[in-house]
Amino acid sequence: MIKIISFKICPFVQRVTAALAAKNIAYEIEYISLSDKPQWFLDISPNGQVPVMVTENGTSLFESDAIIEYIEDEYGPLEQHVTNEQRALDRAWSYLGSKHYLAQCGAMSSKDKATLEARFEKLYKAFQKAENQLTGSTQFFKSDALSNVDLAWLPLLHRADIIKQNSGYDMLCGLPKMQAWQQAIMTSSLVEKTVSSDFVEKFSGFYLTNTYLAEGKDIVQTSCSGSANCCG
Ligand SMILES: N[C@@H](CCC(=O)N[C@@H](CS)C(=O)NCC(=O)O)C(=O)O
């Protein structure tokens, strides 16, 4: 069986588990400590990072983009009859999401409001681009069926939802089509299959403890993006 080497709150891992769950592919998962990486992990992970996927043949794959492409090549596409141009566009929109995972982690780790808003600005610009691309007439990014783009943005939208529920800070403030997309993803049965049962607890221990967002419902969100757009 496939094995995923993981760190519980890693968004790159969650993109991979989302791709596996969306295709009902069974896998085992092993969690490691990133502050004390075991030697066996360093031996199979050239970049020293999770996710690593150990295939059925025992080959260790690394870099989430490569793992996602392998899942598509090996187990078949999520969507049939996608043109080459559309596939390229889907990959590009997926990258726009996944290339902002670390920006979101950095923003959520901020100790004060000014740092949060400064770090969040780039991510919010990506959210605005997606808002402009969404039609608002379909449940998911392209249609009413899940696509690879949804899977790539799922970690961002999931984390933004937990932050909103616990702190009141809405990363999608002023972006109604993004909010609707987030709602569709969060109410699909997929999200819970992508993380461990203690995900929210682990995530909160990291991003909602000793951070600005940990101030919880006392947070007053005065702007949508760190600039002057008042959210009301
Ligand atoms: N480019 C990598 C990024 C993966 C990544 O940043 N993983 C983080 C956890 S979310 C990690 O393993 N950090 C440990 C380290 O960099 O030493 C990918 O797409 O797989």
pLDDT of residue 169: 93
Which percentage of the chain shows pLDDT scores above 90? Answer: 91
Closest atom of ligand 1 relative to the 63 alpha carbon: 20
d(Cα 34, Cα 180) in Å, to the nearest integer?
A: 34
Domain residue ranges in the chain: 2-75, 86-218
Q: Count CB neighbours of 182 within 10 A.
A: 22
Task: Give me the amino acid identity at 215.
Answer: E
Reported as a single tens digit per residue, the pLDDT across 89-121 is 999 999 999 999 999 999 999 999 999 999 999
**Using the 8-state DSSP alphabet, how is residue 73 labeled?**
H
Q: How confident is the model at residue 218 (pLDDT cuts 50, 70, 90)?
A: low
Which residue, among 118, 137, 144, 129, has the nearest Cα to 225 in the 3D structure? Answer: 118
Nearest CA to ligand 1 atom 12: 49
pLDDT over 70, % of the chain = 93
Question: Strands 52-54, 2-6: parallel, antiparallel or unpaired by DSSP?
Answer: antiparallel
Tens digits of per-residue pLDDT, 22-49? Answer: 999 999 999 999 999 999 999 999 999 9
pLDDT at 215: 87
Q: Which CATH class is domain 86-218?
A: mainly alpha
**Residue nearest (by alpha carbon) to ligand 1 atom 16:** 49
Pocket test for ligand 1, best of 49, 156, 158 (most atoms within 8 A of CB): 49
Per-residue pLDDT tens for 120-146? 999 999 999 999 999 999 999 999 999
User: Ligand 1 mean position to 49 CA, how many Å?
Assistant: 4
The CATH code for residues 2-75 is: 3.40.30.10
pLDDT computed for residue 226 by the predictor? 46
Residue 10 appears among annotated catalytic residues: yes
Q: What share of the chain is helix, strand, coil (3-state, %, to 5)?
A: 55, 5, 40
Burial class (CB in 10 A: 0-12, 13-18, 19+), 75: middle
CA distance 148 to 18: 9
